[in-house]
Amino acid sequence: METENQFTLSNYQSGLEYAKQQDALDELSSYRNQFHIPKDKYGNELIYLCGNSLGLQPKTTKAYINQELEDWANLGVEGHTDAKNPWLPYHEFLAESTAKLVGAKPIEVVTMNSLTANLHFMMASFYKPTKSRYKIVIESDAFPSDKYAVESQLRHHGYDDKEGLILWTPRKGEELLRYEDLETILEQQGEQIALVMIGGVNYYTGQFFDFKRITKLGHKHGCMVGFDCAHGAGNVDLDLHNSGADFAVWCTYKYLNSGPGSLSGCFVHERHAYDKTLNRFTGWWSHNKETRFNMRHEFDVLPGAEGWQLSNPPILSMAAIKASLDMFNKVGIKKLNKKSKKLTGYFEFLLKQLGEDTIKIITPENPDERGCQLSIQVLNADKSLHNKLTEAGVISDWREPDVIRCAPVPLYNSFEDVYQMVEKMKKILN
Ligand SMILES: *Cc1c(COP(=O)(O)O)cnc(C)c1O
């Protein structure tokens, strides 16, 4: 893999002409026009490299939402059954394209709630601590919300959140996590570990983990295994079903472009689909659709991921997700991935030309171990570098103490975006 990457890197060329040429050759280049690209106060398009934080708005989103607003205006409550896209089964319209996107079966996925909420709902079912087996493993640089969530689960069950939480930590002087170290953790404490919960693509370093390997390892030691795919869904080729993971969650407002605070996706492996004995928090939307409105029936849980829903969902947000998924479905994650590897490789090539003594990329070099995000450490940099980049029209993301995260998103970022970003960085550093 290392050699393949080197080969690719040596294939790139510097200069604006090359960037323009690659855009002209790019079969996905027309998708950029299907997005609203934010502009500066003079009306110039910004270089938006922040799709890992909030994806841009597809131009079709408004029409999808308007459809629901109109149906609501014209039909009122009848819209549940008579809207063009009836609201009662609306989440079902998302199942197939979601499943395709994350490599799952339709019965394994559902769109509901928000991300951290889903993480808790999944843990209500898949974190089942006992007196001797109660610990949770998480990566040391996990997204804060995930860390807070697992800590609070430990406390909720009466365990000490320091003693019960095991951090998978990079070695001294390193940024990336090594599988050998996770293996050691499981060999030494496996019998005490109830759950392995990892950010599938680490939000900070961009490291994309081998789900299958981690799942196999966890299961071998009798642990449940779950992934937070907030930085994976719509970014990398997830193969959730085959990974064997027990559950996964993700948000749809990052790479899935469904708008700020939009709903979350959730995966529950098929092996749990018909298990009615699993403990869970329920509501009327997890109840059998046939008898849901009789209101007096004893609870009868739906099979599959749908059986974890609680409430009737916000249709306006679901409409924005549908707009985005319809686009993803048309492009296909394979094609996106191909462009993503090329575009991110190009970004890496240009950054390396700035001098490896000034710039360090902490994201894995192997294209199969990352998505489109590169996390860049600049020698002696502080937040002022990020501010200058922003002033120069580059929207990126700063993480203390010294990392700039940039994500050239294959759906709407161009080779020229990447070229211009590095040119601006060069100017600022000089
Ligand atoms: C973005 C992100 C979140 C945010 O959680 P919300 O519940 O959507 O606010 C949580 N975890 C990870 C790993 C994230 O990347």
Express each pLDDT in 352-398 by its tens digit.
Answer: 999 988 899 999 999 999 999 999 999 888 889 999 999 999 999 99
Do the beta carbons of residue 396 and residue 418 sit within 8 Å? Answer: no
Q: Is 306 in the pocket of ligand 1 (CB under 6 A)?
A: no
**Does some domain include residue 76?**
no
**Hey, what amino acid is at 367?**
P
Q: Is 53 in the pocket of ligand 1 (CB under 6 A)?
A: no
Question: What confidence score (pLDDT) does residue 295 get?
Answer: 74
**Do 295 and 366 fall into the same domain?**
no
Distance from the CA of 122 to the center of ligand 1, in angstroms? 15
Residue located nearest, by CA, to atom 2 of ligand 1: 230
* Residue 174: Cβ within 10 Å count: 10
**Do 113 and 167 fall into the same domain?**
yes
- How far is the C-alpha of 345 from the C-alpha of 141, rounded, in Å? 24
**Hey, what amino acid is at 14?**
S
Structural domain count, the chain: 2
Helices (H) and strands (E) in the chain, counts: 14, 13
* Residue 283: Cβ within 10 Å count: 12
Give the domain-ending residue among 288, 307, 329: 329
Give the domain-ending residue among 313, 329, 345: 329
- How far is the C-alpha of 326 from the C-alpha of 152, rounded, in Å? 36
**Do 276 and 309 fall into the same domain?**
yes
Beta-strand relationship, 397-399 and 403-406: antiparallel
**Is 228 within any annotated ligand binding site?**
yes
What is the phi-psi region of residue 261: left when phi exceeds 0, alpha when psi lies from -120 to 50, beta otherwise? left
**Do 343 and 323 fall into the same domain?**
no
**Does some domain include residue 171?**
yes
Domain that holds residue 343: 2-58+334-429
**Do 47 and 130 fall into the same domain?**
no
**Do 350 and 319 fall into the same domain?**
no
Q: Which two tokens stand for residue 227?
A: 């992934």
- How far is the C-alpha of 207 from the C-alpha of 193, rounded, in Å? 23
- How far is the C-alpha of 208 from the C-alpha of 74, rounded, in Å? 46
- 53-82 pLDDT, tens digit each: 999 999 999 999 999 999 999 999 999 999
Question: What confidence score (pLDDT) does residue 1 get?
Answer: 42
What is the position in ligand 1's atom list of the atom closest to the CA of 264? 8
3-class SS of residue 297: coil
**Hey, what amino acid is at 373?**
Q
SS (H, E, C) 3-20: HHHHHHHHHCCCCHHHHH
Q: Is 169 in the pocket of ligand 1 (CB under 6 A)?
A: no
HSE of 16, CA atoms in CB hemisphere, 13 A: 4
**Do 215 and 258 fall into the same domain?**
yes
**Does some domain include residue 66?**
no
**Does some domain include residue 67?**
no
DSSP state letter for 201: B
Distance from the CA of 300 to the center of ligand 1, in angstroms? 31
Distance from the CA of 21 to the center of ligand 1, in angstroms? 37
Residue located nearest, by CA, to atom 14 of ligand 1: 230
Q: Is 116 in the pocket of ligand 1 (CB under 6 A)?
A: yes
Question: What confidence score (pLDDT) does residue 170 get?
Answer: 98
**Do 364 and 325 fall into the same domain?**
no
DSSP state letter for 359: E
**Does some domain include residue 158?**
yes
3-class SS of residue 244: coil
Q: Which residues pair with 398 in a beta bridge?
A: 404
Question: What confidence score (pLDDT) does residue 74 get?
Answer: 98
Distance from the CA of 115 to the center of ligand 1, in angstroms? 6
What is the phi-psi region of residue 158: left when phi exceeds 0, alpha when psi lies from -120 to 50, beta otherwise? left
**Does some domain include residue 347?**
yes
Distance from the CA of 250 to the center of ligand 1, in angstroms? 8
Residue located nearest, by CA, to atom 10 of ligand 1: 145
Q: List the CATH number of the domain containing 198.
A: 3.40.640.10
- How far is the C-alpha of 23 from the C-alpha of 35, rounded, in Å? 16
Do the beta carbons of residue 358 and residue 409 sit within 8 Å? Answer: no
**Do 150 and 249 fall into the same domain?**
yes
Residue located nearest, by CA, to atom 13 of ligand 1: 143
**Does some domain include residue 78?**
no
**Do 265 and 147 fall into the same domain?**
yes
**Do 393 and 290 fall into the same domain?**
no
Distance from the CA of 159 to the center of ligand 1, in angstroms? 24
Write the burial class of residue 144 (CB in 10 Å: 0-12 exposed, 13-18 middle, 19+ buried). Answer: exposed
Distance from the CA of 236 to the center of ligand 1, in angstroms? 17
Cα 99 to its chain centre, rounded Å, is 14
> Of 419, 408, 370, whose CA–CA distance to 32 is shortest?
408
Q: How far is CA 41 from CA 35, 46, 56, 370, 388, in A?
A: 19, 10, 18, 34, 16
Q: Is 143 in the pocket of ligand 1 (CB under 6 A)?
A: yes
What is the phi-psi region of residue 393: left when phi exceeds 0, alpha when psi lies from -120 to 50, beta otherwise? left
**Hey, what amino acid is at 159?**
Y
What is the phi-psi region of residue 41: left when phi exceeds 0, alpha when psi lies from -120 to 50, beta otherwise? alpha
Give the domain-ending residue among 281, 301, 329: 329
**Does some domain include residue 152?**
yes
Question: What confidence score (pLDDT) does residue 6 get?
Answer: 46
**Do 279 and 392 fall into the same domain?**
no
**Hey, what amino acid is at 399?**
R
Q: pLDDT in tens for each of the 430 residues of the chain?
A: 444 444 467 789 999 999 999 999 999 999 999 999 999 999 999 999 999 999 999 999 999 999 999 999 999 999 999 999 999 999 999 999 999 999 999 999 999 999 999 999 999 999 999 999 999 999 999 999 999 999 999 999 999 999 999 999 999 999 999 999 999 999 999 999 999 999 999 999 999 999 999 999 999 999 999 999 999 999 999 999 999 999 999 999 999 999 999 999 999 999 999 999 999 999 999 999 888 888 777 888 999 999 999 999 999 999 999 999 999 999 999 999 999 999 999 999 999 999 988 899 999 999 999 999 999 999 888 889 999 999 999 999 999 888 999 999 999 999 999 999 999 999 999 8
Do the beta carbons of residue 203 and residue 143 sit within 8 Å? Answer: yes
What is the position in ligand 1's atom list of the atom closest to the CA of 203? 15
